[in-house]
Structure 1
Amino acid sequence: MAKLHIHGVHAPGFTLFFISLQYPLLLLTLSSAYTTQTKHFINCGSSNSINYFTRDFVGDASSDSVSFTKQNTSTLSSNQSSSVSAIYDTARIFRSPSSRYALDTTGKGTHIVRLHFFPFASTSNLSEAVFNVSVNGLTLLSSFQVPSSTNSPVVEEFFLSINRAKFVLHFSPQGSSFAFINALEVFLVPDGFIPDSAPNVRTVYRINVGGDEVTLANDSLWRSWDLDDSYIDVPNAAQNSTNNESALNYQADLDKFLASDHVYQTAKVMSVNFTNGTLYRNTTWGFKVSTNARHLVRVHFCDFISPSLNTVRFNLYSYQNFTELIDPYGKNGFRERAVPFHYDFLVKPGSSGLVKISIGLLNASIYQQAYLNGLEIMEIIGSWDSDFMPSEEHNHNVSLIIGLVSGSVTLLCIFVSASIFICKYRKPKRTDMSVWTLFPALRGGSSHSELTEQTRHCSVAPNFNLELKIPLAEIHFATNNFYDKLLIGKGGFGNVYRGTLRDGIEVAVKRSKPGSGQGFSEFQTEITVLSKICHRHLVSLIGYCAERFEMILVYEFMEKGSLRDHLYNSDFPYLPWKQRLEICIGAARGLDYLHRGAAGGIIHRDIKSTNILLDENYVAKVADFGLSKLGPLDQSHTHVSTGIKGTFGYLDPEYFKTQKLTKRSDVYSFGVVLLEVLCARPAIDPSLPGDQANLAEWGITSIQNGAIEQIVDPLLVGQINPNSLRKYGEIAEKCLQEEDEGRPSMKDVLWDLEYALQLQQTDVKRDMHDDTDQRLVNIDSSNCEEAPII
């Protein structure tokens, strides 16, 4: 018998990605009393009943529960094959635009709807059929065609929320073509099977990770589960494992139906013991999906891996964004092994149409395993058309109809606003990122969407660059009304949310504490500074909003978070030394441009590792200009007298004593960042002994005592060319001089960092104390990005 596939878009594995975005996920643990369904299973175009994997597919021509339009014909295969089921030997053909099937539903709730297609040889060339399929106004398939080269049946599967007594399936041939179907399944699934936030979905992928293919006979809902081998990025990073000892311990009735037992009895497992000394930090699976469409992703877990309770914890990553700590015994509270559980989340891929899921090891040595049992991806399809609602349902759907009408008015307003916005505002380059929205997706927005407090400063807003102004309605759209699950950071100014503009551009939205009136100076400074500058290594301001007493800044989204995220106190994979050097060089270029090339000179005043952000390619960009001071800073004006602002641990000691701010105050702060990069520890750590608590003091002492190797991040041991390390230490020491006159300019820092990178890349590793300076010979001056003088 031919292998039956769910029809979807398939692609090989993709590049490994991992980074943290701290979003919790909702674990579904609903219970449901559910019995195996016996209808509706329809053998189309036939009067015969056929048993197919324990189900009786009743011939539609003889069924009392099925009706269909009279403008149809049936056809029989002229070459019946034993390689496929007999349900594919006949088909119902529709040629009228109003063709339809109608049947009584077995109850209200989520139904599986499966449409079976197989273009067998007959008097009608079924492979030429092009048609649409819809249910009560909800489009399921558009311009659908099954190619003649298909050797196996194609099954399109949907989960639909049906709350009507009648299920009506419409077939609409395209032009002069026709439509056909071989078999049809419509039956209830347990309550809670699909979240209310994604009521109608189409199955795209269903993967048994680490095990064999699961056939329809081995799944309680007659689903097939494909192998994961063609989707995994680095096969050697994990191995297949099978549970041969523990019985599955389901915690709720629903869990028994969410996946096959076979899925929970096998897994892909990461472990340092499996990789022959090669430490893979994570394993990634990549999938090709429809671009710019929302998808429901469901990942399945069952811990039969750990030798005892609470000994395996790991991270689940989505795209390049950390999604959840998988901790069956701590976070989920399980008290026994082999408990099946799952997580659901939403993703909206960009123009690349890629979905990537990863599991990653924790840094702690006792948790050096990670596993995944199963994975499903379902495309979310549109909403129901109220015009198709039967009148008998009126009493139950009044509120829904009112909501739809109200929604239409709202959508009209949004459309008008969007049209104005698109015409007026410039758009930065698109990116291929994803928005991850965690359930419940019927989300509660901020309580401050209608503000009554008055912010006395907002009257100044009209003096800003109006070309960058974004309407508040667009901000609400991008952030789902400041949905809590899109919150990615907090600071002194306010909260930062991840958002998506209407054209798919991913943004970071920084919102001041609503109505507080605080932070206006920073708000004004940020807009003023960023509207004057443009540089590859400075975060771009997309726009701002000063409306309804709100102060909101919208930036380009930096996919890989902050530099600090990759250094310590997180579960991110570590950065190799060469990449750390390149990040430092990028940040130095941005600062050099600020100091020398931007509107007379700008002092950042808050350089720290959290304000150096990384894009999807690990390109460093300096961010957060709320404390910046603008020039002119020339020979006659070498400093600015100002109150002390900045971050403790990074503050220039001379600025702290004299309140005289100079460009070399930034250089001092950057020196602290250089030590953070080298040592992978915070600027201030009160838990350490007194002589080590302050990173700048401890680092300088170690460098001056010739003990720089002793403070290097243990993960970098053996990676650093001794001469590169020596040069790097010299740079940090110069930057951290007590008096600013002893510190280099950012131009000199950039030059020396470029040289340190050249030393790292050289094949000849000279002795640690070889002072030969071959910068002018080795360094390629074209790599030094000179800041333009404006």
Structure 2
Amino acid sequence: MNPLSLITFHISLLHVLLSSAAAAGYNATDIILLDCGATSNSTSQDGRNWEADPHSKYCPFNDPNASFSSNASRQDPSVLQVPYHSALIIRSKFTFKFPVLPGPKFLRLYFYPETYSDLDTTTSFFSVTANGYTLLNNFSASLTVLAMDPRPASLIKEYVIPVWDNQMLIVTFAPSPASFAFINGIEIVSMPSVLYAYGSEIPLVSIEGGRFTLDNTTALETMYRLNVGGKQIENKDDTGMYRTWRQDDDYLVASKWVTVYKLSSFSIQYTEPDTPEYTAPKEVYTTLRIMGSDSWFNLKSNLTWNFAIDAGFYYLFRLHFCELLAQVTKRNQHVFNIFINNQTAEKQVDVFYEAQGPRIPIHKDYIVLVGNEAQAKELRLDLHPDQSSTYADAFLNGLEIFKLNQTAGSLAGPNPDLVPRTQPPKLQPGSRKSGEKSTILPIVGAILGGFALFSLLLIFFIFQRRRKQKDSRSFSSKFSANKTSSLPSDLCRHFSIAEIKAATQDFHDRFMIGSGGFGNVYKGIIDGGTTVVAIKRLNPSSRQGAHEFHTEITMLSKLRHIHLVSLMGYCDDQGEMILVYDYMPHGTLRDHLYNTKSQPLSWKRRLEICIGAARGLQYLHREAKYSIIHRDVKSSNILLDENYMAKVSDFGLSKLGPMSTSQTHVSTVVKGSFGYVDPEYYRRQHLTEKSDVYSFGVVLFEVLCGRPPMIQGLSKEKASLVHWARSCYLKGKLDQIVDRNLTDQIAPMALQKFGEVAERCVRDQGVERPMMSDIVWALEFTLQLQEAADKEINDRNATTTDEELFSGSSKNVAKSPKSTSDIASSIAISDQSSGTKISEGDTSSLLLGNDN
């Protein structure tokens, strides 16, 4: 080896040694192991010492009759003796008090649902609280185990509980009425306070650009912790916190198409402070799931896992990555997209680039809200290769999923539905006849049940055959325009994939005019070159957005309004999901406001666009057959036709509004775009028409100020357009933040009225916001104010010499009459032909009305 190579080798070795020294495992400051019900201390299989709990120092103040110890009637071979051999049976409220140091703690509760002293734990229901957080409510360990697949014999519930001021972890068990509680073991282990992102802002999935602050008062429940592609890692092999990392096989979808990659040596380079060694064991980062070498197939599929969850909670997803492939040596070679719960979490993830090298682990955190909707029973994680990547592939090394406590401090979910055991019931000793009966009856029942099932299946197949003869396409029978459909043929046309490909030259890049969360948008020509359309194509590599696809069709096919974009038809051939609209030559409103080379819109044209969009929303809220809440009002969803007429578009997130006068809102998961979402809807998950009003108010300020709703990096006062604009309006300084392209165009009275409309729209409480009909009326009045001011200036200019005109010109806004009365008089004259007359002192009729 030459001297230079030797020096380089020693420098590299020193770097590795220093990195290893800096990245140390975690030494727990608190470790408490309580073997509940045991009469003497014992050692578990992993070598840890467990303390017996009778007469324990952790529970000296309870009623002696509140509990007793008992051993399990039998020991399943898969269940360890410690701590599952014995249990503490709890008859009434019982409290443990554990003195600990400040900081978050892992709290693990061990349950082995067996018979104890003739008490069947299938009848055990109880609640558990810890430091004010409700961990379990009317919980049944037996039902929980029975519902798990594969079905274990024992159960561990793991939580992260913050402990700060009182330095005491207080755990209380409370049996449900006429029942009892039991616990086999309690484990408490401290953890680094920064392990799970306490105090940081985490991306919020479903709200574009949204952030979620995970503060140090949040409690977590561990739902899943997986060593993806690797073997199970037991607690003694963790990084000092005794976590268990299970295999991911039971949650992986279509695993036969997914390969496992394992690094032959453990040369992982942890980093401080981003990914210290205690983040996850090196075995997590040296194995992974990867899609494989078939790029064509990879681009048509996803790497997918499914997880059962409880609805009504926020969840923290932590994804662990480490680039192991030797062929990946630079940026943009191994890039993929992440989807959680059928929503985009992050696009174009490049682990090599973000980690700044190979074999350097990183992790990514995301927050997702799962609402109380009936279908919200599972979470789906999808990874999909990005089209720009050199290697069309995606991978994952490890995964953790945590439930976050609700506002009231609860982590408790409902008990699962009862799943009956597959084995026959146990026989009581000496009861041979009853045993024979219990064997014969299930057989007879099975025969009768099988016959009934066969009959039902026969009827079902006959029905299905007749149904298919009547309508060979199940999707088209619901959405297409045919004789059996409720949609008239002139409202919703079914396109074949051949027609779509011909219109776009097989989705050629030069026809692409935009992209979004749904997929790419193409300009197309149909009907022999006579009609130009916009074709929105769901990314064909996944089924993301299927619900939004169906919603858009069912909503738009039944709506016709001059200020709503028209849906011409759809295509669902060959697994595609494609929507076809009227083509809007001038793109979106946002295209003309900021970060664009398009010609800036004049103030008057902006007013006309706002009025048109408001009329479209007014139609949705009050004039359609059923009230419809758009749920994603933003400047990029307001399209402009050849005459710059506004058309509200993108109904994929729309919901039917309240169906009766007694219903004030629709309870649903929060969806929308960051910066536009109604804060009241965000807090309460109560969707109303006023949620659209808030979003439209944001658009009004965008139109006035020519900037996006949120700009990261600005001061706290200016980062949010709503907060900044409201503050300026209330201080009488709104003119100072007007788009500089509008200089000399806005009459002061029109600016004042427009600001009033926008400010009322974005108030925190929905009851303080106007109806869309009031907004339309007020914006029309604003336009009339502007036109009257323009007319007076033009009349004045017609009688003013050029010298006088130029010497007296304004530098900021257009000159206008001195009073509202003067404006009203001018408007009254111009509106006489239409039957609308506003006399002096009567202008209040055109101001914003009160909320009804």
Higher relative CO (Cα under 8 Å, sequence separation at least 6) belongs to: 1
Larger Rg: 2
Structure with the bigger percentage of helix: 2
